[in-house]
């Protein structure tokens, strides 16, 4: 008998404010030197949509914050799992910016989001350890991987893994990349079970590249030199990040599939971080080519980025929860399905795990 990590419940939260691409028509877009981009905004937005497939995204209402989203997603995951929250050994929250108030753009990390979530869930058990995991966009996947280690050690049996991010409050309105980001939260309850037959997580892998790649995503001042203060915003070297993702993610995904003793034809679904549709399609196509395959099944990679945008650590758990709740009619999970969960982001970090649906 071996211990395997399985998902027993999921939940998510999507903010109420819907921001469509046309809402950016009046933005004053500048380049990194502070000069106005000469193209018409309508043309900029259309090219952006053609590349990313993003049509709209969700923004948090002023009275809410990251911990509120994480709490609601957690409540829904716990309800779906049917467990007593007092039996949780860990609460791990993947996030990168803490709380950011609508009227104050400074990061608040004390106490941690995980502490706030445990408080809101009213969990009394002191042996339920709550901590945050800032790991870029791959944070939620890494949280699941960490919990898998805990379960296999025998020291833990059950955990709540949350991905929650509030990106709308750290974006520069003068930066085109602003249109990529959104807010949201996703959560799963996972537990370690004994089984003779492989189920749940059967392999995982993570890598970090920092020598020349550490600052592809970073915080910096506005592109507008006349901006009212020195507030820091999320900045991205899109070209370098795209190249990095295409050069590393397919290799790591191939490695983790082979580590599981499988081939690409054994994979039923790939749940990948929803960052850029063109990039995600290119990553999967390159992955198939590494296995000697020129074509890939059309329905293997569910995509929600067109309506959700990129909400960082929340994209993968939200995607999973939407499929579980039949919100993507063309996609379902069946017992025995083999899936790859994968992500890439700031660090630069890449990770993935292979999962057999119970």
Residue 70's SS3 state is: helix
Q: How far apart are CA 37 and CA 29, in angstroms?
A: 6
Instruction: Render pLDDT for 291-307 as a digit per residue (tens, 0 to 9).
Output: 999 888 989 999 999 99
Q: Would you state the pLDDT for residue 99?
A: 95
DSSP state of 310: B
What is the chain's mean pLDDT, rounded? 96
Q: Would you state the pLDDT for residue 298?
A: 85
What average pLDDT does this structure show over 267-294?
96
Q: Would you state the pLDDT for residue 105?
A: 85
Identify the residue with better confidence: 227 or 56. 56
Residue 152 sits at the vertex; the CA angle it makes with 151 and 154, to the nearest 5 degrees, is: 70
Q: Would you state the pLDDT for residue 281?
A: 95
Q: How far apart are CA 40 and CA 55, in angstroms?
A: 18
Q: How far apart are CA 147 and CA 136, in angstroms?
A: 18
Q: How far apart are CA 33 and CA 26, in angstroms?
A: 20
Q: How confident is the model at residue 31 (pLDDT cuts 50, 70, 90)?
A: very high
Instruction: Please tell me the pTM assigned to this model.
Output: 0.95
Task: Give Cα 350 to chain centroid, integer Å.
Answer: 12
Q: How far apart are CA 116 and CA 66, in angstroms?
A: 10
Angstrom distances, CA of residue 94 to CA of 113, 128, 166, 260, 269: 9, 17, 12, 25, 23
Instruction: Render pLDDT for 152-207 as a digit per residue (tens, 0 to 9).
Output: 999 999 999 999 999 999 999 999 999 999 999 999 999 999 999 999 999 999 99
What sign results for the dihedral spanned by CA atoms 105, 108, 114, 117? negative
pLDDT for residue 246 is more than 90? yes
pLDDT for residue 113 is more than 90? yes
For the chain, what percent of residues have pLDDT higher than 70?
100
pLDDT for residue 139 is more than 90? yes
The partner residues of 132 in beta bridges, in order of sequence, read 93
| DSSP run (H or E) holding 51 | helix 41-52
Task: Give Cα 11 to chain centroid, integer Å.
Answer: 14
Residue 28's SS3 state is: coil
Q: Which two tokens stand for residue 84?
A: 């007593």
Radius of gyration of the chain (CA): 20
pLDDT for residue 65 is more than 90? yes
| Residue of 320, 332, 195, 319 whose CA lies nearest to 268 | 332
Q: Would you state the pLDDT for residue 47?
A: 94
């Amino acid at each position: 008998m071996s211990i395997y990590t399985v998902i027993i419940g999921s939940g998510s939260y999507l903010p109420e404010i819907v921001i469509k691409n046309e809402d950016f028509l009046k933005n004053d877009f500048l380049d990194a030197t502070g000069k106005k981009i000469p193209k018409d905004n309508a043309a900029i937005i259309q090219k952006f949509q053609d590349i990313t497939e993003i049509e709209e995204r969700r923004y948090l209402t002023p009275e809410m914050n990251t911990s509120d989203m994480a709490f609601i997603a957690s409540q829904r995951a716990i309800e779906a799992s049917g467990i007593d929250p007092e039996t949780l050994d860990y609460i791990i929250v993947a996030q990168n910016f803490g709380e950011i108030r609508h009227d104050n753009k400074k990061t608040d990390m004390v106490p941690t989001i995980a502490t706030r979530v445990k408080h809101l869930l009213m969990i009394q058990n002191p042996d339920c350890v709550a901590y945050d995991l800032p790991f870029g966009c791959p944070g939620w996947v890494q949280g699941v991987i960490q919990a898998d280690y805990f379960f296999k050690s025998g020291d833990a049996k059950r955990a709540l893994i949350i991905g929650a991010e509030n990106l709308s409050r750290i974006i520069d309105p003068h930066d085109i990349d602003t249109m990529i980001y959104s807010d949201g939260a996703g959560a799963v309850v996972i537990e370690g079970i004994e089984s003779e037959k492989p189920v749940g997580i059967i392999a995982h892998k993570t890598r970090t590249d920092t020598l020349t790649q550490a600052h592809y995503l970073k915080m910096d001042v506005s592109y507008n030199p006349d901006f009212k203060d020195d507030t820091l915003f999320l900045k991205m070297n899109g070209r370098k990040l795209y190249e990095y993702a295409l050069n590393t993610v397919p290799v790591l995904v191939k490695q983790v599939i082979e580590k599981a003793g499988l081939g690409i034809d054994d994979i039923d679904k790939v749940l990948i971080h929803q960052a850029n549709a063109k990039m995600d399609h290119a990553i999967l196509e390159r992955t198939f080519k590494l296995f000697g395959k020129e074509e890939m099944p059309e329905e293997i990679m569910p995509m929600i980025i067109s309506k959700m945008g990129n909400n960082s650590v929340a994209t993968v758990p939200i995607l999973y929860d939407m499929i579980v709740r039949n919100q993507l009619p063309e996609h379902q999970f069946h017992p025995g399905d083999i899936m790859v969960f994968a992500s890439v982001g700031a660090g630069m970090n890449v990770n993935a795990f292979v999962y057999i649906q119970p």
